[in-house]
């Protein structure tokens, strides 16, 4: 089965400034490769044959680096946003998307098995599948619980909170595209709220491996260290 992916690579990377003043965020280096090249190599290994890069900010630099994808043995083409359209809005600009396709952010370091994720969505027949990760957050303060009169009802010293987050990796069926407006900003949040409103089941597939969004300087530095130390975890080349 031919596998198609859309990589969202149009963001300005404002949280990573000043690094992203010169380079677009997807070209920020992780070891000897830009993070987007790591993703493309992973998708090639997972059997993907066609990648569309949704670009906007510094698009020409990204296009000059990846060109048509021949260097990696995959077809790469581009969808250009003339104005920012959010995370889901750019998909309506792409006219040849198949019945099922992968969508992901272009700044993620993970060892997710993209082929398994793709196949599980196709078999489930859901309209949308989210790859998720459990997070544990320690609150560094004493938390006060009060009633409507401002009277203390309980106290928790540095409690922890567990929650499940989206990894920025999704599988979509073509049906989901019809819920995305044309040429208007529309995010992942908007699409989720619309699917919930319509009582459409969204599949959440929990992942327990490695995942890091390099959007902040601290996470970017961590990704560089961990990629260098455990490169085989991400690339078997």
Known catalytic residues? 158
β partners of residue 76:
51
Q: Are 67 and 76 in contact (CB under 8 A)?
A: yes
Side-chain half-sphere CA neighbours of 105 within 13 A: 23
Cβ of 126: how many Cβ atoms within 10 Å? 23
69: left (phi over 0), alpha (psi -120 to 50) or beta: left
**Phi, psi torsion values for 48, nearest 5 degrees:** -75, 140
Task: Calculate the dihedral angle through the C-alpha atoms of 76, 77, 83, 85, rounding to the nearest 10 degrees.
Answer: -60
Q: Are 127 and 115 in contact (CB under 8 A)?
A: no
DSSP label at residue 125: T
Q: Of 6, 207, 1, which Cα lies nearest the Cα of 101?
A: 6
Residue that has been written with the tokens 């596998």 in this structure: 3
Question: Cα–Cα distance between 75 and 55 in angstroms, integer?
Answer: 16
Residue 158 DSSP SS3: coil
Question: Cα–Cα distance between 180 and 169 in angstroms, integer?
Answer: 18
């Amino acid at each position: 089965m031919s596998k198609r992916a859309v990589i969202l690579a149009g963001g300005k990377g404002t949280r990573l400034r000043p690094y992203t003043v010169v380079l677009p965020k997807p070209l920020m280096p992780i070891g000897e490769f830009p993070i987007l090249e790591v993703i493309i190599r992973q998708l090639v290994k997972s059997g993907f044959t066609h990648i569309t890069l949704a670009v906007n900010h510094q698009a020409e630099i990204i296009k000059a680096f990846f060109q048509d994808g021949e260097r990696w043995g995959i077809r790469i083409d581009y969808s250009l946003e003339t104005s920012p359209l959010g995370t889901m809005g750019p998909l309506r600009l792409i006219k040849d998307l198949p019945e099922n396709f992968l969508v992901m952010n272009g700044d993620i370091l993970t060892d997710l098995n993209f082929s398994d994720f793709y196949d599980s969505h196709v078999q489930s027949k859901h309209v949308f599948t989210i790859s998720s990760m459990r997070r544990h957050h320690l609150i560094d303060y004493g938390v006060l619980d009060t009633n409507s009169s401002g009277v203390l009802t309980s106290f928790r010293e540095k409690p922890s909170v567990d929650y499940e987050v989206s990894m920025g990796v999704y599988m979509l069926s073509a049906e989901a595209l019809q819920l995305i407006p044309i040429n208007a900003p529309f995010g992942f949040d908007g699409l989720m709220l619309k699917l919930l409103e319509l009582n459409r089941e969204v599949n959440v597939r929990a992942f327990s491996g490695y995942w890091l969004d390099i959007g902040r300087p601290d996470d970017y530095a961590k990704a560089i260290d961990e990629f260098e130390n455990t490169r085989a975890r991400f690339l078997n080349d």
